[in-house]
Amino acid sequence: MSLELEEDINTMGVKTSFRGVAALVGMVPGNTRDDLVDRLEHNALARCLSDNDGCGKHREIAQASHWIELKARAARLNPQTVVFDDSILPADVSLGEAARRMALFAPVIVIAPSEKQSQLISLLSAGEIDFVARSGEFLSLAAAFVERRLRPSPAIEPEFSSAWTADLPSDFAEVLRHEINNPLTGILGNAELLLSQLRPSLTPVSVQRLETVVDLAVRLRETIRCLSTEWERQHSSIHSA
């Protein structure tokens, strides 16, 4: 079911029991967007849901018609993946900047002219985005990338998970946060300081690389937080059993 969400700033038209969407599509309204949404509804989502309901609660498709709307919905709707066309971006927002911002919320599929792929090398190398050149049968490729992003990762066998966590020290979560998160915070802080103080004197490529450091550091810090929280949960359940 495709969602044309209301503009309410608090709920964005989403019921309180709704936790996320499968795909957030950012494209100018028209036949191209309608075609992509139709492909997602009848192909990518259908296949994903047939795999033991692998998408779980992530089933609907949300849509955005411009950049501000895309940013707002990405922050509030917890999409499993974001696919957007560069035609929705205003003149003062580069494709690289837009892709980096969206990658903070979810894996991204970018649709743009082939000559713009060079702006996304760092994100492509990190595996955070996929690029679809806007030519030929590009919608089929975009739908295939969305389907791949929706498929869940293979679950770790419970026996392996229990054995692994049982051998770790009881304060592993604290060690993880201290030994990795603290240095990471230093990296993030210094990168942001360099950007704020030296941006006017840096080349565009250097600015882009520093911004990539900042974005990836933020993403890694969130991953560490999730890992430590999950370990504490599993460790508590093992020892309370």
pLDDT per residue as tens digits for the range 184-196: 777 888 888 888 8
Q: Determine whether domain 2-150 maps to CATH 3.40.50.300.
A: no
Query: What pLDDT score does 9 carry?
Result: 33
Q: Compute the chain's Rg from CA coordinates.
A: 20
Query: Which one, of 50, 42, 48, 79, lies nearest residue 62 by Cα?
Result: 79
Q: Is the pTM of this model over 0.75?
A: no
Across 97-101, average pLDDT = 93
> Domain extents for the chain?
2-150, 158-240
Percent of the chain surpassing pLDDT 90: 27
| CB contact set of 137 (below 8 Å; sequence gap of 6+) | none
